[in-house]
A and B are shown apart, each in its own frame.
Chain A
Amino acid sequence: MPSPPPPVPRPVSRTYPCVQMFARLPDSRTTLLQFLPMSRPKDPRDLRKAGARDVDVTLIDAMLALSPEERLRQNDRMVRTIEELRHGFAALRAGDPACKAGGERD
């Protein structure tokens, strides 16, 4: 029985996670929509057919398992995340040096 191939090491990131995120996904609108599955853009021709098939039932079940207060807090957390992303993209557009940082840490 042949031995399994050795594991391939994952490439080591040499940039900060936030920089990677902004650098790889330059268009803020696209990025936000990718982070928010519920808001993923749809082909307008498909809107008439929008129904259960397009809905993330896993997310619904997760929400239903929470108390009303926890659901409201979840919304607040999502809003804060979106606001942070907006600030990040605004800083990137403004040429904030912190967002242009790269290279090795330390």
Chain B
Amino acid sequence: MDSPPSGLETLLARLAASGTDFVLVGALAAVAQGAPLTTFDVDVVHRRGPENVDRLLAFLGSIDARYRGRPSGQVLRPTREALLGEGHQLLTTSLGQLDVLGAIEGGRVYDDLVPDSVTVEVEGKPVRVLGLRMLAELKRGATTSKDRLSLAVLEETLRRSGLG
């Protein structure tokens, strides 16, 4: 049971320091804004322009990123073509699990999410984080019990932070 060391804060800070444009989404975005959830991975939606993808690819190489769930001994690394597309790259890295998403629910891409994001500082680097209201909105369309429970937490966090 070899799992990489957990240090999602470090992973996020290093990604921000790489100069890659991205929006943090998913449970860690909610955690950063005060939702008491626990997550094992970083989910980001990146800008899919060629220059940004090149920066992201270089960063992924520096943290030994490879696809999760491959048979033992098979290492598959993300490619430029994959990162230019809207698919989901579910990766494991030397710093923890990282999901690189070309698009999320409703086909939303980086430029769609920026207006609904806020900026927080992580280890001195500005990180764009999808706002709680939009995170809750995305969860409302979900059907799994885990998402419903998360939605209740997000809505109450919104209320108590004065945003709801």
A-side residues, CB < 8 A to B, are 36, 38-39, 42, 44, 47, 50-52, 54-57, 59-64, 66, 68-69, 71-76, 78-80, 82-83, 86-87, 90
Once the chains bind, are B38 and A75 in contact (CB under 8 Å)? yes
CB distance from A66 to the nearest CB of B (A): 7
Return the chain A residue nearest B36 by Cβ.
A59
Interface size on B, residues (CB 8 A): 35
> Do A79 and B148 contact each other (CB < 8 Å), given the known contacts A60-B34, A68-B32, A71-B31?
no
Q: Are A76 and B7 in contact (CB under 8 A)?
A: yes
B9 at the interface (CB under 8 A from A): yes
A71 close to B156 (CB less than 8 A): no
Complex Cα spacing A36 to B32, Å: 19
- Chain B residues whose C-beta falls within 8 Å of the C-beta of A42 in the assembled complex: 145, 149
Chain B residue contacts of A68, Cβ below 8 A: 32-33, 120-122, 129
CB distance from A40 to the nearest CB of B (A): 9
Task: Tell whether, in the assembled complex, residue B157 and residue A69 are in contact, meaning their CB atoms are under 8 Å apart.
Answer: no
The reply on B8 being an interface residue by CB < 8 A is yes
Q: Which of A38, A44, A51, A61 contacts B155 (CB 8 A)?
A: A51
How far is A74 from B98 in the complex, measured between Cα atoms in Å?
18
B123 at the binding interface (Cβ < 8 Å): yes
Interface of A is mostly: helix
Q: Chain A residue with minimal CB distance to B8? A: A76
Mask, B83-124, CB within 8 Å of A = 1, is 000000000000000000000000000000000000011110
Distance of A45 Cα from B37 Cα, bound (Å): 22
B70 part of interface (Cβ distance < 8 Å): no
B152 A52 Cβ-Cβ under 8 A: yes
Which of B7, B38, B148 sits near A78, CB closer than 8 Å? B38
Instruction: Give the docked Cα–Cα distance between A31 and B39 (Å).
Output: 18
Chain A contacts for B12, CB-based, 8 A: 72
A66 touches B123 (CB 8 A): no
Q: Which residues of A contact B8 (CB under 8 A)?
A: 72, 75-76, 79
Verify A71–B153 contact, CB threshold 8 A. no
Docked pose: A63 CA to B27 CA in angstroms? 14
Give CA–CA (A101, B149) in the complex, Å.
39
Complex partner residue of B40 from A55, A64, A79, CB under 8 angstroms? A79
Task: Give the complex CA separation of A10 and B157 in angstroms.
Answer: 40
Whole-angstrom CA separation of A61 from B160 in the bound complex = 7
Chain A contacts of B151 at CB under 8 A? 50
By a CB distance below 8 angstroms, the chain A residues around B161 are 64
Docked CA distance A56–B37 (Å): 11
